[in-house]
C-alpha cells in the first residue's frame, strides 16, 4: 500500500513540474485572445457548440500559479487515501463538477434564454445551469453534479454550483472535497474557436483558503455529433457480457 501511495505521489509531483510548460503553450492566462485568433465572428455570449479540451493539459487542478492548493489536515488525509484508492469515476459514478469538464472527450453546450445544458459524451452524462434569475439552492437532495445557477458578468457566464453528495474527486489525481463544496465556474468564449473555463473552489473542510484554478482551454469541434458512451457496471466488475440475459 505504501508503494502505491509513493507512486501516486510521484505522479502528482510530475504533474506539478510538467504543468507550467504545458500551460505556457495553451495561451494567455489573462483571458485575452491570442494575436492569431480566428477572424470568424460570434457573440461572446453564445457558448453553444461541441468543445474538446486542448491536448496536453494536466489531469490535476492546480492554482493560477500552477501550485498545489493549500489543504487542511482533513484534506491532506483524504488526498492520501484517494491516491491509494480507486477513482469513483472508474466505478461508473458520475464525474461531478469540475471533473466532468476535465474530460478529454467532447462536451456539447446547448444554450437557451432560461438555462444552459452541458452534455458530456463520457458516460452520456449531462447537467443544467439555470439562467432565469433563480437563487442557488443549497439544501436540496445532494447529487453528483450539484445544482447550478448562472448569470452573465460582461462576456463571462459565472456559474455557482452547490449541494454535492461528496462522492467524487475534484480531478483525476484525487484532490478531495466535502459536501460543503461550492464551485464557481467562469465560462468565456474568447474567439470563435476557443472557450476558457476557470474554477474557484470553496471548501473550508478540505482547503485552508478559497482558490482559483488555472484556466482550462477548449477548442470548437464543428459538425461533430456526440456518440453514445455508457459506463456499464458489468464491465467494471468483470462479468462477461454474455452472462446478461437477452434483451437486458
What is the rounded CA–CA span in Å between residue 78 and residue 178?
Answer: 10
**Are 213 and 63 a contacting pair, CB within 8 Å?**
yes
Q: 218: which strand partners?
A: 53, 195
Higher-pLDDT residue of 102, 106: 106
C-alpha cell belonging to residue 22: 504545458
The pLDDT of residue 12: 54
82-89: long-range contacts, CB 8 A cutoff, minimum separation 24: 82/169, 82/174, 82/175, 82/176, 83/4, 83/5, 83/8, 83/9, 83/12, 83/173, 83/174, 84/1, 84/4, 84/5, 84/8, 85/174, 87/169, 87/172, 87/174, 88/167, 88/168, 88/169, 89/168, 89/169
Structural domains present in the chain: 2-27+46-226 (2.40.128.20)
Mean pLDDT, the chain, as a whole number?
A: 84
Give 168-207 pLDDT, tens digit per residue.
999 989 999 999 999 999 999 999 999 999 999 999 999 9
- Asked if the model's pLDDT at residue 124 lies above 50, the reply is yes
**Are 188 and 206 a contacting pair, CB within 8 Å?**
no
The region of weakest confidence among 70-79, 83-92, 199-208 is 83-92
**Are 168 and 123 a contacting pair, CB within 8 Å?**
no
C-alpha cell belonging to residue 245: 440475459
The pLDDT of residue 236: 54
pTM for the full predicted model:
0.78
What is the rounded CA–CA span in Å between residue 173 and residue 148?
Answer: 24
From its phi and psi, is residue 64 left (phi > 0), alpha (psi between -120 and 50) or beta? alpha
The pLDDT of residue 18: 43
The pLDDT of residue 44: 87
What is the rounded CA–CA span in Å between residue 156 and residue 129?
Answer: 14
- Asked if the model's pLDDT at residue 66 lies above 60, the reply is yes
Q: How far is CA 167 from CA 68, 93, 180, in A?
A: 21, 8, 12
Q: How many CB atoms lie within 10 A of CB 152?
A: 12
The pLDDT of residue 195: 97
Amino acid at each position: 500500500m505504501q508503494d502505491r501511495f509513493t507512486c501516486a505521489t510521484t505522479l502528482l509531483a510530475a504533474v506539478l513540474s510538467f504543468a507550467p510548460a504545458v500551460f505556457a503553450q495553451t495561451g494567455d492566462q489573462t483571458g485575452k485572445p491570442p494575436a492569431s485568433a480566428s477572424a470568424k465572428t460570434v457573440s461572446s455570449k453564445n457558448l453553444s457548440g461541441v468543445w474538446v479540451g486542448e491536448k496536453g493539459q494536466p489531469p490535476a487542478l492546480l492554482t493560477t500559479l500552477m501550485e498545489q492548493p493549500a489543504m487542511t489536515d482533513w484534506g491532506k488525509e483524504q488526498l492520501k487515501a484517494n491516491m491509494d484508492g480507486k477513482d469513483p469515476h472508474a466505478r461508473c459514478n458520475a464525474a461531478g463538477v469540475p471533473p466532468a469538464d476535465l474530460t478529454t472527450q467532447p462536451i456539447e453546450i446547448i444554450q437557451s434564454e432560461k438555462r444552459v445544458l452541458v452534455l458530456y459524451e463520457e458516460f452520456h452524462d449531462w447537467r443544467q445551469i439555470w439562467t432565469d434569475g433563480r437563487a442557488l439552492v443549497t439544501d436540496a437532495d445532494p447529487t453528483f453534479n450539484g445544482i447550478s445557477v448562472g448569470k452573465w458578468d460582461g462576456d463571462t457566464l459565472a456559474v455557482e454550483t452547490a449541494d454535492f453528495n461528496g462522492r467524487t474527486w475534484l480531478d483525476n489525481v484525487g484532490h478531495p472535497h466535502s459536501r460543503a463544496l461550492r464551485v464557481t465556474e467562469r465560462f468565456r468564449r474568447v474567439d470563435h474557436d476557443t472557450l476558457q473555463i476557470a474554477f474557484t473552489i470553496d471548501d473550508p473542510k478540505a482547503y485552508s483558503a478559497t482558490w482559483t484554478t488555472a484556466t482550462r482551454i477548449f477548442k470548437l469541434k464543428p459538425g461533430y455529433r456526440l456518440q453514445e458512451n455508457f459506463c456499464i457496471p458489468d464491465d467494471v466488475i468483470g462479468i462477461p457480457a454474455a452472462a446478461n440475459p437477452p434483451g437486458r
